[in-house]
Amino acid sequence: MSGSRLRSLLEAYSTPVLLSSILSLVVVVVWMNASGVLAQTVTDALIRVVLVVGLYIFVGNSGVLAFGHIAFTMIGAYATAWLTLSTFKKSFALQLPAILAEHQYPVFPSAIAASSLAAVVALIVGIPIMRLSGISAAIATLAVLGMFHTFYNNWGPWTMGAATLPGVPLYVDMWVALGWVVFAIFVAFIYQRSRYGLALRATREDEFGARAAGISIPRQRLIAFVISAFFMGLGGVLQAHFLGSIAVKNFWLSLTFISLAMLIIGGQRSLTGAVVGASVISAITEVLRLVENGIEVGGTTISLPPGSQELGIALVMLLVLIFRPSGITGGRELRLRLSRRARGA
Amino acid sequence: MIGLLQHVVDALALGSLYALTALGIGLIFGVMRLINFAHGDFIMIGAFSLVVPSSAATSTLLIGAWPAPLMVGGVCFVVIALALATERLAFRPVRRADPSVLLITSFALSFFLQHAVLAVHGGRAKSANIWPHLMEPILIGGVRVPQLQLITIVVTLVLLVVLVVFLRRTPMGIAMRAASEDFLTARLLGIRANRVIATAFAISGLLAAVVSLLYVAQTSVLSFHMGVPLVLFAFVATVVGGMGSLTGAVVGGFVVGIGSVFFQVVLPAGWRSNRDVWVYALVLLILLLRPSGLVKSKSIEEKV
Amino acid sequence: MERPDAGLSARGIVVRFDGLTAIDRVSISLQAGGILGLIGPNGAGKSTLVNALTGFQRPTEGSVHLDRTEITGWPPDRIARRGLARTFQAGRLFRGLSVLENLAAAAVGSGLSRREAEARALELLGWMDFAEHAELDAGSLPYGDQRRVGIGRALAVGPTYLLLDEPAAGMSDAECDDLVALIDRIPREFGCGVLLIEHNMRVIMNVCPRIHVIESGRTLAQGSPAEIRSNDAVVHAYLGTKTERGRAER
């Protein structure tokens, strides 16, 4: 491969390369210097990045808000539990069909299968819903979340109902999470650059213009919806194998709200915005949590009253929205320009 | 037959609460294209204003101990003041932003209000027993009907009539309708946006306060996330009814309320815990069959 | 029913909104390689007719055929992929995307791969003498340039018929002359038929060998520019005042 070919390739993919490098650097620094507690925090934040990138694939490119994506996260989390729990634990807690109950499947194929299940569900519910416009589609996805949430909450034999399902094998650490984040970032970027991503971004800018240009809006939205659901499901899988237990109540409005807020605060119209939003909000949450627990400054311990973490994060969000309504990145991508004129000419 | 009448009253009473909540959301949507998720927290804070702020496990009535007219006035005052303050501090600065930004702002505000109450009152649910005598049933044509259900329905009807008169007969009401029906033109014609929006928030706060009182009288329970299910169903109701149409919000509220009670009654006992699955499925079905809602509003459609 | 001719052919189109008749039995036909001008006073129903042809408005009565295939009632994107492209009076560009992406999105919409689409977009921009602006956001361009990008985007669909909805609206005289030159080249170089909807007589009279006049949703006259200019009904309805007439004949 010639130098200029390599350079133009690197330039074209500079956004995912830079984003992945920065996150990798953070992971390496934390791995070399810090305590296990910080590593846990970083892992948690990386899982959030997967979720917000998943959300971005649909919301960012289509401009349609979706309130139901956490349903796919829940589907992914429970599906991986059905596959990977030990047969002893399955027989103890759940009543599954033989093919699940009598086997314990390896984690990697299970992660793919569980995320794919989320994507398949998205395909089925998406076919009718993606014909709807804007706010109706958003509410329809919320109705889907409401249905799954209520159903899983009462589906004792498969989910233990409202109780916490324990014993999910722990294997997600900082490095595993980083690997999946890099995968998500690259897929999101490749999609966004593809003919499908371009067509969908055109529908976001002007629906009439897009239709006159031969673009089928329901079809393009459906493609993004399915890919997006895969990564939402993957986020659920990672969370299950990070925390070791899952509960239906955790896949509801507050997770919906926080992931949407991360995306919008980062800047919903760019992949960089999704990654920045998830990272920044996670970081601020962690700092506030530390301060709430008390930190030492010049010999005296400063601490904030309990509950100030959530109040602080809500306040930060409100301030960003008020002063920078298009998000921290303003919809721009992080990019590397190796030559003065990148394209064209 | 007697059972049926009881179910009808239940359905109308629940529908009334959803309709009032949906109307509060619909009014704000009309004048500024904001879907206000924090509306549920207006209701929640109205309810908490009944008791003394403290993190103690047992609650002491504050406004809730006042005589009825003062109690109603007090709760209305608190919620209207809150609604106006949020408009001024949170929503006015982002008014010209994208609707998704407005929505997320209301999410953030909702999160803030809930955690503020959590910090003050603690996370445990509290009880506030107001107007216990209203739970006693009265006899109508041989049927025992709880007074509170009837009061809920009557209060809703009275508020709807007052609101209709306000929207049709007063200059401010007409300006508000003009803004809802043709958002851009109304702005261009220079309808005083600040006053119209502030008035809409005040009315929305009033509706939320009424829902607080009726809801607490019914359940006697206070919790920091009590507004969430109400606002969720009301939100769904505004869309089912037809976003941008106030009539639609009321119709949608009753459809969702009646649907909930209907499924509660007809589903076999073992399925009742899954009632909301059916309510959401109904919502989904209505949306798929009538994507722009039951009552179509001209203001939402875009022209080529 | 007899088979319609090749070309874009609309027969007896009627569009009614809530009892109000916006288009009343208008028939129009356009051959590949030809240019047809569609004029009429404001509110005559020109844009409604374009919407009816391109699927954005379902006709109440009548039929539209595209090279002998009936396309009445098809969704707009399917009609576009079949080879009937349009521009909009309001522009409707993809404002947050670059000029290149605007054209490439339309090429992708017509079924090309990403790579082919980009090649077609670059080629078209070169043809329009606009390649140096390829990386700018479409929304940041001056008004006249946005109109040109709109035409480029419609051409990127690879159409056999192109409907231009008032492309000269709001342009200066100099810009109009450039536009006339551009439109004039389209049938020759792309082999496609052009339906030009215009208010600006300077543009219409200079490019269109045939003109169709509508007023209040009805066909008023059809013919060559000379015939239209001397048609009493048209002069009365449309070129009413002396000043406008003078400008038209300049």
- Indicate which of A133, A204, A215, A270 best probes the interface with C, i.e. most C CBs within 10 Å of its own CB: A215
> Which neighbouring-strand residues pair with B33?
none
User: For chain A, percent helix, then strand, then coil, each to nearest 5?
Assistant: 75, 0, 25
B195 lies within 8 A of chain A by CB: no
pLDDT tens readout for residues A26-52: 999 999 987 778 899 999 999 999 999
CA distance A325 to chain B (A): 6
CA B92 to centroid of chain Cα atoms: 21
- Indicate which of A70, A150, A254, A288 best probes the interface with B, i.e. most B CBs within 10 Å of its own CB: A150
Q: Do B112 and A318 touch (CB under 8 A)?
A: yes
Please name the member of B243, B280, B283 whose beta carbon is closest to the beta carbon of A135. B243
* Residues in chain B within 8 Å Cβ distance of A264: 100-101, 104
pTM for this structure? 0.90
User: What's the CA gap between C99 and C80, in Å, rounded?
Assistant: 20
pLDDT value of residue A339:
59
Per-residue pLDDT for chain B (304 aa), expressed as one digit of tens each?
567 778 888 889 899 999 999 999 999 988 888 889 999 999 999 999 998 887 777 778 888 788 888 889 999 999 999 999 999 999 988 888 877 788 889 988 998 999 899 888 887 888 888 877 777 777 777 777 788 888 999 999 999 999 999 988 998 888 888 777 766 666 665 657 788 889 999 999 999 999 999 999 888 889 988 998 899 888 888 888 887 788 888 999 999 899 888 888 888 887 778 888 888 898 889 888 888 778 876 555 555 6
Rounded (5°) CA angle A192-A194-A200: 60
According to the 3-state scheme, what is the secondary structure of A212-261?
A: HCCCCHHHHHHHHHHHHHHHHHHHHHHHHHHHCCECHHHCCHHHHHHHHH
Q: Do A209 and C104 touch (CB under 8 A)?
A: no
pLDDT value of residue C247:
47
Give all chains having 3 or more CB-to-CB distances under 8 Å with chain B: A, C
pLDDT value of residue B191:
59
User: What's the CA gap between C44 and C50, in Å, rounded?
Assistant: 12
* Residues in chain B within 8 Å Cβ distance of A60: none
Could you give phi then psi for residue B57, rounded to 5 degrees? -70, -35
Asked if residue A158 lies in contact with residue A96, where contact means CB atoms within 8 angstroms, the answer is yes
User: What's the CA gap between A255 and A241, in Å, rounded?
Assistant: 17
Reduced to 3 states, what is the DSSP secondary structure of residue B30? helix
B90 lies within 8 A of chain A by CB: yes
CA distance A17 to chain C (A): 21
Helix A217-243 vs helix A36-62: crossing angle, to nearest 10: 170
* Residues in chain B within 8 Å Cβ distance of A253: 228, 232
User: What's the CA gap between A247 and C205, in Å, rounded?
Assistant: 72
Q: Other C-beta atoms within 10 Å of B95: how many?
A: 15
Q: Which residue has the higher pLDDT, B142 or A207?
A: A207
User: What's the CA gap between B261 and B9, in Å, rounded?
Assistant: 10
Residue of A nearest to B98 (CA): A325
Q: Do C97 and A195 touch (CB under 8 A)?
A: no
pLDDT tens readout for residues A321-344: 888 888 899 888 988 876 554 443
User: What's the CA gap between B127 and B142, in Å, rounded?
Assistant: 33
Residue of B nearest to A141 (CA): B284
Report, as an integer, the average pLDDT of A250-261.
Answer: 90
Please name the member of C96, C105, C134 whose beta carbon is closest to the beta carbon of A199. C105
B304 lies within 8 A of chain C by CB: yes
Asked if residue C54 lies in contact with residue C77, where contact means CB atoms within 8 angstroms, the answer is no
pLDDT tens readout for residues A165-202: 999 999 999 999 999 999 999 999 999 999 999 999 99
pLDDT value of residue A344:
38
Predicted confidence (pLDDT) at residue C231 exceeds the cutoff of 80? yes
- Indicate which of A8, A11, A133, A211 best probes the interface with C, i.e. most C CBs within 10 Å of its own CB: A211
Predicted confidence (pLDDT) at residue A240 exceeds the cutoff of 90? yes
- Indicate which of A133, A193, A198 best probes the interface with C, i.e. most C CBs within 10 Å of its own CB: A198
User: What's the CA gap between B150 and B157, in Å, rounded?
Assistant: 11
Give the pLDDT band (50/70/90) at residue A309.
confident
CA B112 to centroid of chain Cα atoms: 19
Q: Do C97 and A205 touch (CB under 8 A)?
A: yes
Predicted confidence (pLDDT) at residue A345 exceeds the cutoff of 50? no
Asked if residue B131 lies in contact with residue B64, where contact means CB atoms within 8 angstroms, the answer is no
Residue of C nearest to A196 (CA): C108
The type of residue at A57 is I
Q: Other C-beta atoms within 10 Å of A174: how many?
A: 23
